[in-house]
Amino acid sequence: MIDVARIRNDFPILSRRVNGKPLVYLDNAATTQKPNAVIDALTHYYRNTNANIHRGVHTLAAEAERDYDAARAKVARFINAPQESSVIFTRNTTEAVNLAAYGWAREFLKPGDEIIVTVMEHHSNYVPWQLVMQDTGATLKIVDIADDGTLRLDEYAKLITPRTRLVCVTHASNVLGTVNPVRQMADLAHKVDAKILVDGAQAAPHMPVDVQGLDCDFYAFSAHKMLGPTGIGVLYGKDEVLRTMRPFLAGGDMIREVKRDTSSWNVLPYKYEAGTPNIADTIAFGTAIDYLNGVGMPEVRAHEIEITRYVLDTLSHFRGLTIYGPRDAAARGGTVSFNLDGIHPHDLGTVLDHAGIAIRAGHHCAQPLMRRLGCVATARASFYLYNTREEVDALAEALREAQALFKRTGTPQKTGIS
């Protein structure tokens, strides 16, 4: 088991107070807090080694480049990529998915081709495919969920046809917490020669990820959801796939030679990293990975299963509380969405904030899923390696108080939530 008290000491923000109460930070699916090591890596870079990379002949440039390249190597090892050149740095998951949509899908899809997505996708892994559909004439098929919030694998198997060219699926849902059977889905996709893109935004931070074991063609994730800075993300791609794609952004660094009317491209990964990269945040991302490795990803996962089990158990005793997503903590991530009868999630979020508790309320960039669940919004508490059982108790206590408050004031719900 991990030493949560010791871990909490590494996160300065966790000792602050909000509205006079100790901060209880349960908005980790949106973004995570940063340990001192990551904050220090950023300031160390700007104080000591700040320089542009790739063309520099001076010491600072060499040091910055060394640290930047080291971060790529750390990411590659973290996800068990077969080579570092399969790790493309982007701004975030959203840009990573768009890179695949522009570089691969727009290049290779044609009218009649089919893309399969799931109804639980974040808009980042949904809207790019709508645009691909409009631009290429490909069509979109959507896999439904069962009522327990798990993916309908039986339906997925039926939707796959020889026309399927691409499957896009989230590894872990940012609303339901559901962890999807990506390897099984990849095997079915590859049987018909389709590619599979996995949105790992809610999985890479929380569990060991092995892109070779998953056999995915693309895997996308964001540093800021795994203790790293904002502004840096990753698209992993299989070497043979990345080689065939068209560049997404054009400019400096991504070229080998520029002639009057045409250019040739740099080797991987630089072909897809045009312009000056986000050097400082990438290096600090490497430090975040060091931190997670220091704790151990199997241990991070075990802690989350344990705390999620406690959350689900605690919330299941509430009257009028609907939990969305699987009830088996071992089959899901630590993101728990719920609604309390008669209280709009935004109102609930505001009341909890007065108690120092940060949760998220809204559609969570998953409107197709909200419609499937029959609601317009949910409250969402999401947990990470520094969260404690005491914080779950604080959440439960604040929910009880909110229920009592709304019962007294009789404030009506603003929107129709089932």
CB 90 within 8 A of CB 201: no
Q: Applying CB under 6 A, does 178 fall inside the site for ligand PLP? A: no
Binning the chain into helix, strand and coil, the percentages to the nearest 5 are 45, 20, 35
Please give the structure tokens belonging to residue 172.
Answer: 């872990």
Q: Applying CB under 6 A, does 201 fall inside the site for ligand PLP? A: yes
CB 141 within 8 A of CB 157: no
Burial (CB count <10 Å: 0-12, 13-18, 19+), residue 177 = buried
Q: Which range binds ligand PLP by CB under 6 A, 36-44, 118-126, 179-187, 301-309?
A: 118-126
**What's the min distance (Å) between Cβ of 130 and ligand PLP?**
15
φ/ψ of 223, rounded to 5, equals: -65, -35
Q: Which range binds ligand PLP by CB under 6 A, 117-125, 290-298, 319-327, 340-348?
A: 117-125
Q: Applying CB under 6 A, does 266 fall inside the site for ligand PLP? A: no
Interface residue with ligand PLP among 199, 217, 290, 347 (CB under 6 A) is 199
By beta-carbon proximity to ligand PLP, the closer residue of 113 and 304 is: 304
**What's the min distance (Å) between Cβ of 223 and ligand PLP?**
8
Q: Which range binds ligand PLP by CB under 6 A, 9-17, 78-86, 91-99, 278-286?
A: 91-99
* DSSP H or E stretch at residue 409: helix 389-409
Interface residue with ligand PLP among 202, 282, 378, 382 (CB under 6 A) is 202
Does residue 368 have a cis peptide bond before it, meaning omega lies within 30 degrees of 0? no
Q: Which range binds ligand PLP by CB under 6 A, 121-129, 245-253, 308-316, 326-334?
A: 121-129
- Which residues 6-65 are close enough to bind ligand PLP by CB under 6 A? 29
CB 321 within 8 A of CB 340: yes
Q: Applying CB under 6 A, does 370 fall inside the site for ligand PLP? A: no
CB 345 within 8 A of CB 359: no
Burial (CB count <10 Å: 0-12, 13-18, 19+), residue 152 = middle
**How, if at all, do strands 24-25 and 357-358 pair?**
parallel
Q: Which range binds ligand PLP by CB under 6 A, 90-98, 133-141, 277-285, 376-384?
A: 90-98
By beta-carbon proximity to ligand PLP, the closer residue of 99 and 279 is: 99
**What's the min distance (Å) between Cβ of 53 and ligand PLP?**
23
By beta-carbon proximity to ligand PLP, the closer residue of 216 and 394 is: 216
The residue with tokens 């104080």 is 47
* DSSP H or E stretch at residue 239: helix 239-244
The sign one gets for the Cα dihedral 402, 403, 406, 407 is negative
Q: Applying CB under 6 A, does 86 fall inside the site for ligand PLP? A: no
CA atoms of 211 and 142, how far apart (whole Å):
24
CB 204 within 8 A of CB 226: yes
Q: Applying CB under 6 A, does 122 fall inside the site for ligand PLP? A: yes
**What's the min distance (Å) between Cβ of 221 and ligand PLP?**
8
CA atoms of 335 and 36, how far apart (whole Å):
25
**What's the min distance (Å) between Cβ of 166 and ligand PLP?**
17
CA atoms of 205 and 45, how far apart (whole Å):
24
Q: Applying CB under 6 A, does 387 fall inside the site for ligand PLP? A: no
- Count of residues interacting with ligand PLP (CB under 6 A): 13
CA atoms of 169 and 218, how far apart (whole Å):
11
Q: Applying CB under 6 A, does 382 fall inside the site for ligand PLP? A: no
If we measure between CA atoms, which residue out of 363, 349, 330, 336 comes closest to residue 399?
Answer: 349
Q: Which range binds ligand PLP by CB under 6 A, 194-202, 289-297, 304-312, 345-353?
A: 194-202
Q: Which residues are catalytic?
A: 365
Interface residue with ligand PLP among 85, 98, 170, 378 (CB under 6 A) is 170
By beta-carbon proximity to ligand PLP, the closer residue of 85 and 118 is: 118
Interface residue with ligand PLP among 222, 282, 308, 382 (CB under 6 A) is 222
Please give the structure tokens belonging to residue 178.
Answer: 């559901």
Please give the structure tokens belonging to residue 295.
Answer: 């704790």
**What's the min distance (Å) between Cβ of 126 and ligand PLP?**
9
By beta-carbon proximity to ligand PLP, the closer residue of 200 and 269 is: 200
Q: Which residues bind ligand PLP (CB under 6 A)?
A: 29, 92-94, 122, 124-125, 170, 174, 199, 201-202, 222
